Structure 1
Amino acid sequence: MIKFTELLKPENIRQGLICSSKKRLFEIITQVIADQIQLENAEQLCFECLLSREKIGNSGLGNGIAMPKARIPEGNQPLAVFIHLDSPVDYESADHRDVDLILAILVPEKLCESYISELPKIAEKFSDKTLCKQLRNAQNADEIWQIFKYADQLSMQDAIEQDSEEATNETA
């Protein structure tokens, strides 16, 4: 299972941002990671990738959270950006709730097959109500990073316990 801290870098976390729209949010996401992508016009390219993927289906997960994603043509690893908005924006989510927590994931095309099955698991982990409450209460990017690290540790412990339980059941 992929960890938040494998996708996200501390420098890609923004807390308390003010944003006026979903489009502006996508612009902010691309500004955060443009320097990390070795492509000409990286900012514009990433923005267009996010926008075209969003046209296929809304990335709102409900309860004020969204996980926009996109394929980017180049790169050696997926990139993620986490944003906690100061005030929620209209995201046209299925539950009609404005969004304030965003985890954007951009995956290089050559890695899409290996990550496609992981995205629903990441979305499920990101949708955890306790995690969202902690992220909303965080005061700065460092706290957010620590919350993601702790969530990864809990996920690993759960996976180990589940493996142990399955092994016990198989020998019984």
Structure 2
Amino acid sequence: MKLQDILTPDCTICAVPAASKKRILEFLSSLAAEKLVNHDTFQLLESLVKRERMGSTGIGNGIAIPHGRLINATKPIAVLITTEQAINFDAIDHRPVDIFIALFVPEEECQNHLCTLQSIATIFRDKQFCKQVRQCKSNHELFQLIQQAS
């Protein structure tokens, strides 16, 4: 599954004020909770924190893909945000992060989960594309850029 298939305009936010890794994870979880009927912010946050304990999802070049598996979820959901300032996220390259793509997937869809993560990593491997993402001035502009990504 591609990022474009599971990202919605209301889960695409530009220039979020960011103070810490914890606050970003909370923000991502609260946005996703509005879309997932059977899960609240706390459950979503717990799924992200559980995964972060295994190792940071900061993949380098200012990008992080926090993700979690959810019991009783019926569909995957993605949340994409950029932050006003890059924050420390314990990324593998030790650089701060300002692009966050959160992914929440049903627990039993492991193969889909891996395919979606690979799709996201492929899109954001392109440094020119990341530069365009960072230059977006509105939520709509950011969403449209993602929809046009190959």
TM value normalised by structure 2: 0.94
C-alpha distance after superposition, 1:64-93 (max 9, x if no partner): 111111101122211110010000110111
| Residue matched to 1:158 | none
Within 5 Å, give how 1:8-87 maps onto structure 2.
8-39=7-38, 42-87=40-85
Select which of 104, 120, 145 maps to 1:147: 145
Deviation digits for residues 120-150 of structure 1 (CA, Å, limit 9, x no counterpart) = 2321222221211110001101100111111
Aligned residue for 2:6? 7
| 1-structure distance, mates of 2:19, 2:96 | 12
Aligned-partner Cα distance in 2 for 1:139–1:23: 25
Structure 2: gaps spanning 5 or more residues: none
Q: Within 2, Cα distance between the matches of 1:88 and 1:122?
A: 19
Counterpart secondary structure, 1:102: strand
Equivalence for 1:105? 103
For this pair of structures, how many residues does the alignment match? 150
**Structure 1 residue runs without a partner (length 5+):** 156-172
| 1:115 has 2:113 as partner | yes
User: Structure 1 residues 94, 114: closer, same or farther in 2, change over 3 A?
Assistant: closer
**Normalised by the size of structure 1, how large is the TM-score?**
0.82
Contact 2:58 2:64 (8 Å CA) reproduced: yes
RMSD over aligned Cα, in angstroms?
Answer: 1.3
Q: Where is the helix percentage greater, Structure 1 or Structure 2?
A: 1
What letter matches 1:107 in structure 2? V
Please state whether the residue corresponding to 1:26 is helix, strand or coil.
helix
Q: What's the CA shift string for 1:33-64, capped at 9, x where partnerless? A: 11222225x11011011001011121011111
Point out the structure with max Rg over C-alpha: 1
